[in-house]
Structure 1
Amino acid sequence: MDRPLGPVPAHAALEALLPPTALLVPEPAPPWTAGWDERDENDGFRPDWLQVRRLVRELMPTPKSVTRERMAEAEKECGALGLDGLDGGEGDFATLWTTRTGAWLAEEIFEGLTRLCDVMDLEPRLRDFAEEYVRRGMTVEAARAFMLAQ
């Protein structure tokens, strides 16, 4: 995020990004801790989702630029590059990546709110959102950290 959100815009953003139901697989994907061309602690090479994320970010650098058409373009580009945009699963590319992008944004919002807890009182509804994010399996670690900081 370019600039921190205050409590009111954060409330609106978290409400918009909250998935309608619990996710089948928690989002976002766990962070990749090895270098781009290195293997992880289990001797695994970087997952395709890292390259897909880079491609999605290039095509849609801001939340306002995320559109169904751009998602279709990203899916086509992933296919041309031989990338598995569905992480080995089944489903809809746009749905997965819209959810995943939303999870990364919500994670950044919760991290920003956690930093604000030290300097201001935040509305209780934000804690309710954090609890709901945990229940739905989205940005669980950042939401829990926010709840602990309050």
Structure 2
Amino acid sequence: MDGAADADSSPMHVVIFPWLAFGHLLPGLELARRLASRGHRVSFVSTPRNLARLPPLPPALAPRVDLVALPLPRIDGLPDGAESTNDVPYDAFGLHRKAFDGLAAPFAAFLDAACAPGGNRPDWVVVDNFHHWAAAAAADRHDLQCLRSRSR
């Protein structure tokens, strides 16, 4: 590809939601940058603190990448501000995963908003293996004709 979206198709909208560890966030952001450099729209989903700690996007790509903040639910025993695995003591990883699972409903609401009239319907949803609930959310919206189907 020459850096722009294929001439015979409109740009895609890709949702990227990596696991809350910088070894996942940074490669996910690189994927977002590469997709945006090819003219596609990207919604990069994470928690507010993690998004704030990411390196800035190049100004030319920033308009094509939406940083979507989903606040991590508060879980008793999890330190305040523990949004990345870097912030969590080893013995609290289970609590961190439990808090992460609390993002299922906000993520579904994000997809619903993207599917609403005037929204930017996603073509692809890219998640890590920790997001056991994300595939069902995307599949439900695909069945409702929300997520666009593309043939190539």
Whether TM-score is above 0.5 comes out as no
Higher strand share: 2
Band the TM-score falls in, shorter-chain normalisation: 0.3 to 0.5
The two structures have a TM-score, normalised by structure 1, of 0.35
Greater helix share, 1 or 2?
1
Higher relative contact order (CA 8 A, sep 6+): 1
Normalising to structure 2: TM-score of the pair? Answer: 0.35
